[in-house]
Structure 1
Amino acid sequence: MALTIFILRLAVCILASPMYLLNLLGLWSWICQQWFPYFLMKFSVIYNEQMASKKRELFSNVKDFVGPSGELSLLEVGCGTGTNFKFYPPGSRVTCIDPNPNFEKFLIKSVAENRHLQFERFVVAAGENMHQVADGSMDVVVCTLVLCSVKNQEQILQEVRRVLRPGGAFYFMEHVAAKCSTWNYFWQQVLDPAWNLLFDGCSLTRESQKALERAGFSKLQLQHLQAPLSWQLIRPHICGYAVR
């Protein structure tokens, strides 16, 4: 099985050789930074349509974590184009972080379409280093389809715990590796290297649930599901929330 995966990976890499050459020349990351927001804008619309009921269910109790001020301070990490905004409670004060500055113009459009929110600011930063956000300043932190692509899951989760107030909650929805010995898992293994490069660091084989279990939250509500998506490779999902 391992030999078969290796041979098929090699074949995929040969087919994707122009992309690998651009990466070797240091040009691919710049190309990704430019085109990925446009891809994500289209992808997020379809994803939201197919996952709307799951997202409504996930965020149904966000308002329970309103802080002592009476307003919900919410930080979205890896905010992308702001497609989660419509699921947040009215009056939420939203801060967004993303390492790609090219998302800002899409984010501004989403802000204009979601007047029920109070938008605070957009910070260009990686989730592993959110020093612009003060300790214990957030009631809720959200990331969806982010842990699949960050460089260091443990570090970003420690940053999440740092910026959350005691009793605050971290909400997540992520695609993960399929169960071993399934065809889905087999093709995830074959396609992962090329997928990772094509989709700006996204990995098909992450087991993000394990990082969440190790992160030291006081409470973890985690659900496994087969997402009702058109893309078989990313149907295995986890979602839920963790309390600091």
Structure 2
Amino acid sequence: MALTILILRLAVCILASPVFLLDFLGLWNWICKKWFPYFMRSFTVTYNEQMASKKRELFSNLQEFAGPSGKLSLLELGCGTGANFKFYPPGCRVTCIDPNPNFEKFLINSVAENRHLQFERFVVAAGENMHQVADGSMDVAVCTLVLCSVENPEQILREVCRVLRPGGAFYFMEHVAAEPSTWTSFWQQVLDPVWFLVFDGCNLTRESWKTLERAGFSKLKLQHIQAPLSLELVRPHICGYAVK
């Protein structure tokens, strides 16, 4: 099985050789950063349609973590186009972080469409270093389809714990590696190198639940689900929340 995966992976990489050449020449990252927000704008519409009930369920108790004022301060990591905005409670104060500045114009459009929120600011930064956000200043942090593509998920979660107030919560919804010895796992392993390059650092085989279990939260509510998505490769998901 391992040899078959290796042979097929090599064949796929050969077919994708023009992309690897652009990456070798240092051009692909620039192209990807420009192209990816447009792809995500279309993708998140479809994803939200198929995952709407799961997102509503996930975010149904967000307001329980609001501070004494009753206002919920929320930080979204890897905010992208603002696909989660419509699921947040009215009056929520939202700060967004993303390392790609090209998302900002799409984010502004989402803010205009979601007047029930109080938008604070957009910070261009990687989640591994959110020094612009003060210690203990957030009630909730959120990331969806982000842990699959960050360079250092352990450092991301350390930063999340830093910016959350005591008793604050981290919400997540992520596609993850499929169960071993399944066809989904087989094709995830075959396609992972090309997928990683084409989709801006996204890993098909990342076991993000293990990182969350080691992060030291006082409470972790995590479930594995098969997401109702058209693409089999990304159906294995985890979702839930963790309390600092």
TM range (shorter): over 0.9
Q: 1:239 aligns to what?
A: 239
After superposition, the CA RMSD in angstroms is 0.4
Aligned-partner Cα distance in 1 for 2:69–2:200: 38
Map 1:56-205 onto structure 2 (within 5 A): 56-205=56-205
Q: 1:119 is matched by which residue type in structure 2?
A: F
5+ residue gaps, structure 1, are: none
Cα deviation, residue 142, structure 1: 0.2
Q: 2:25 aligns to what?
A: 25
Report the number of matched residues: 244
TM-score normalised by the chain length of structure 1: 1.00
SS of aligned partner of 2:34: helix
SS of aligned partner of 1:110: helix
Q: 1:140 is matched by which residue type in structure 2?
A: V
Cα deviation, residue 69, structure 1: 2.7
What percent of counterpart residues are identical? 82
TM-score normalised by the chain length of structure 2: 1.00
SS of aligned partner of 1:60: coil
Cα deviation, residue 31, structure 1: 0.4
Cα deviation, residue 68, structure 1: 2.0
SS of aligned partner of 1:69: coil
Q: 2:206 aligns to what?
A: 206
Aligned-partner Cα distance in 1 for 2:17–2:141: 38
Moved over 4 A (4+): none
Aligned-partner Cα distance in 2 for 1:103–1:113: 16
5+ residue gaps, structure 2, are: none
Aligned-partner Cα distance in 2 for 1:12–1:173: 29
